[in-house]
Chain A
Amino acid sequence: MATLLEVKGLTTGYGKKEVVHGIDFTVGNREFCCVIGANGCGKTTALKCVLGILPAFSGVILLEGANTADMTVRERAQHFAYIPQLHIPPFPFKVADVVLLGRTPYLQSSAGGATEHDKLVAWRSMDMLSIENLADREYTELSGGQQQLVLIARALAQEPDILVMDEPTASLDFGNQQLVLTRLRALSRSGMAVLMVTHDPDHALFCADKVVVMEDGKVIDQGSPSETINSDKLRRIYRTEVFVADVDVGAGYTQRTCIPLMDATLMDTRKG
């Protein structure tokens, strides 16, 4: 698989405080890459640096061989699309208008002026996520899952090379998490590269082609989900008892899943 995004020796942090200590990882074309790790391990910080929100102390981020540090904010937005955690904007924008904001890096003027082509791209990205029937609704009155799909459509309207996400399913209920992850998986299957930070290893098992495991600002492992996610690894990074099992989910499919375990003493009391 050809490499799309290459992060080499990246060191970054906030102010003078170094949080990420020289990490290396790659994302291939059409690859769904998940970064997992405990709270505070530096995964979000690394992501912000990839997006250009934080400057790199040292190291390079290459997109198809081009150094992203040389890109303007506008150029970067034509290559990287960011899907944030769900939050409510202060005004009840129409869904179609929210999605059209994804065309911002292509507009000629900061006063707007979307062309027919821009509107077509926005409409198609709604169509692709099957939310075109929501186009006239107010964004603020949708369910959390639908709102997140609108933000994904907005990201698609940027026509990016890679979708970048930080816990896009945080604050969604179980059903809406599955809805969003399934759509993301389908997008990646149809050719979009994805870089997603998540704290939940089950999400990585559900969607990822590749998993990058971080601990204390360093990458400690990367590879396919089956290689990287196992009981020992998770016990180490999350500092809790966990059992990783391959479960037969019927129809000849097995799915790997993480089962958090109770403390041994509690298990004993339950056994009676």
Chain B
Amino acid sequence: MSLSAIGNSERPTTESLDKALEVYSTRHLVRRIVLLTLAMLAVVLVSLMLGRYTAWPSQIFQTIAEHFSASGILTDPKLDRALFNIRLPRIVVVVFVGMALSVAGASYQGMFKNPLVSPDLLGASAGASFGACLAMLMDLGNEFIQIFAFAGGLLAVLCVLGVNRAVRSDALLGLILGGILIGTLFSSGTSIIKLVADADDKLPAITFWLMGSFASITLRDMLLTVPLMVLGFVMLLSQRWNLNVLSFGEEEARSLGVNTRRTRFIVIFGATLLTACSVAIAGIIGWIGLVVPHLTRAIVGPNYRVLLPTTMLVGAIFLLIVDNFARLIYSVEIPIGLLTSILGVPFFAFIYRRNMKGW
């Protein structure tokens, strides 16, 4: 039944339409998103400049232009190598991991109707850690560590889906319960590996890996991760309206015409892909997936249609800044997972005070 059939709205439609469009105007949000995009480009540029071999923007632009020019003449081959073999892959991967963890965290917070949820809820990180440690214990090479980590993450979440099916309770409760059980199981597995690992070389390597780092990112890593992560982004972004609806609960979402099972499956698959990829390439980087979505809500509000793409920008900026500190603050790199936790806690307390009164 159309509204005009039951309504008292006999007023001219143009006037109503103008008001409606004004209420739903997103002009103020667009301005903020443009600013954030510019901020991200600025941070990327600054990150390219900083390092053992500091360069000015003019040098960077010149080197990039020369790199892609047909002549192949380089005025500064050292900078060319630093940029294209080390800094650029690292910065691209940091940007993508920042985006991945933030968007996965924001999606889970909506799907589980809980602002305190982070992307490792369903055990993807625990599984990936276990996989990586197993590969290190078996003395496998770097690429196997990544493959094992990725597979471990997927396996853990598959197990959680299995538990959910077996307990057959409320869909969300079953998933959360499964996440706790399987997460604990895989963490125990990791502890066992640490226990039997050689305390002289393997144990420190494992411990260091678990703290997260972008120090050894190569061009190959970048080319491997980016397409997988793009797939994850597309999946999550495709559900961003439905995430609004899901945050009102299962029954309401269905009464609003959302196929909740399908949406949940896409969100879990996308978020797991992104989390497992992140852990495989950079180890455990905590707090980003919890803090950044809230930071973004403070900037553009909670509507997932805008929040989800914006949280990717904010996540990239946040992690890039932290990574710059990690590589520059001290002569030895500081594990980035430690820094994100140390920075994340006060940040979270601040945001909580400012805009979480509604909880």
Closest B residue, CB atoms, query A187:
B6
Q: Does A116 contact B (CB under 8 A)?
A: yes
Instruction: Decide yes or no whether B332 CB sits under 8 A from chain A.
Output: no
Looking at chain B's contact residues, the main secondary structure is: helix
**Which residues of chain B come closer than 8 Å to A93, judged between CB atoms?**
244, 301-303
Give B284-326 interface residues, CB cut-off 8 Å to A: 297, 301-303, 305
Interface residue total, chain B, C-beta cutoff 8 A: 50
Query: What is the bound-complex CA distance between A83 and B8, given in angstroms?
Result: 21
Distance (Å) between the CB of B240 and the closest chain A CB? 5
Q: Does A40 touch B at the CB level, under 8 Å?
A: no
| Interchain CA distance A153-B249 in the complex, whole Å | 18
Out of A111, A119, A161, which one reaches B305, CB within 8 Å? A111
Q: Which residue in B5, B24, B252, B263 is a CB contact (below 8 Å) of A110?
A: B263
Contacts between the two chains (Cβ within 8 Å), count: 155
**Residues of chain B with a CB closer than 8 A to A104's CB:** 241-242, 245, 256-258
Tell me whether B81 is interfacial, beta carbon within 8 Å.
no
Q: Does residue A94 face the partner (Cβ distance < 8 Å to B)?
A: yes
Task: Judge if B115 is at the interface, Cβ distance under 8 Å.
Answer: yes
**Beta-carbon contact of B359 and A90 below 8 Å:** yes
Q: Is B247 located at the chain interface by the 8 A CB criterion?
A: yes
Which of A52, A91, A104, A127: most chain B Cβ within 10 A? A91
Please, how many residues of chain A have a CB less than 8 angstroms from a CB on the other chain? Answer: 62
Pairwise interchain contact B255-A77, C-beta atoms closer than 8 A: yes
Please state if B358 and A101 are interface contacts (CB–CB under 8 Å). no
Chain B residues, CB < 8 A from A73: 254, 257-259
Per-position 1/0 for A98-118, Cβ under 8 A of B? 001110110101111110100
Expressed in whole angstroms, the Cα–Cα distance for A140 and B259 within the complex equals 26
Minimum CB distance partner of B244 in chain A: A101
Q: Does B263 contact A53, Cβ atoms closer than 8 Å? A: no
Chain B residues 1 to 53 lying within 8 A of chain A, measured CB to CB, are 1-9, 13, 16-17, 19-21, 23-24
Question: Would you call B24 and A112 a contact (CB within 8 A)?
Answer: no
B275 at interface, CB cutoff 8 A = no
Chain A residues near B249 (CB-CB < 8 A): 84, 87
A-B contact pairs, 23 of them (CB 8 A): A53-B251, A73-B258, A74-B257, A84-B255, A87-B249, A89-B113, A90-B109, A90-B113, A90-B114, A91-B358, A93-B301, A93-B303, A101-B256, A111-B241, A112-B244, A120-B16, A123-B20, A124-B7, A124-B16, A128-B3, A128-B7, A138-B358, A158-B256
Spell out A's residues near B (CB within 8 Å). Answer: 48, 51-53, 73-78, 80-82, 84, 87-94, 96-97, 100-102, 104-105, 107, 109-114, 116, 119-125, 127-128, 132, 135-136, 138, 140-141, 156, 158-161, 164, 187, 190-192
Q: Nearest 7 pairs between A and B by C-beta?
A: A77-B257, A105-B257, A112-B241, A123-B20, A82-B255, A91-B302, A140-B358
